[in-house]
Amino acid sequence: MGVFTQIHEILFYGQGGYDYATVYNMPLWLRKFTYFKLKEYYDTQSGANSDDYLVNEGATPNPNKPVIPKAVQQAAANYTTKVSSPKK
């Protein structure tokens, strides 16, 4: 992996927590540590999201459709509202 790719990844996934000059001037060991900690965090988050798909009966991921956990779907199915009729 190139130095500039690693710097870009830290800046992008650090969500504004780092500026270019700081990351560029970091000691190599610290920049690698920071990169791998961010990678570890986002890999864990990615794994947690894929578990949600397993809960939803193995649905294939669709970026246009939100993943709604089964517990929320069941709660929504049990929720009813009563609409008052308009007065004449």
- 86 domain residue, yes or no: no
Q: Global pTM?
A: 0.51
Task: Identify whether 84 is part of a domain.
Answer: no
Domain coverage including residue 48: 3-78
| Region 6-33 average pLDDT | 89
According to the model, what pLDDT value does residue 61 have? 60
> If we measure between CA atoms, which residue out of 51, 47, 79, 53 comes closest to residue 66?
53
The whole-angstrom distance between residue 66's C-alpha and the CA centroid of its chain comes to 13
Whether 87 maps to a domain, the answer reads no
Predicted pLDDT at 70: 64
- Across 13-21, average pLDDT: 87
**What is the C-alpha to C-alpha distance for residues 30 and 68, in angstroms, rounded to an integer?**
38
What distance in Å separates the CA atoms of residue 3 and residue 38, rounded to the nearest whole number?
Answer: 16
For residue 78, the model assigns a pLDDT of 54
Give pLDDT, residue 59.
55
**Secondary structure element (H or E) that encloses residue 55, with its range:** helix 28-55
**Is the pLDDT higher at 23 or at 50?**
23
Tally of helices (H runs) and strands (E runs) in the chain: 4, 0
The domain total for the chain is 1
pLDDT (tens digit per residue) in 60-86? 666 666 566 666 555 555 555 555 666
Q: Count of CB atoms within 10 A of residue 35's CB?
A: 20
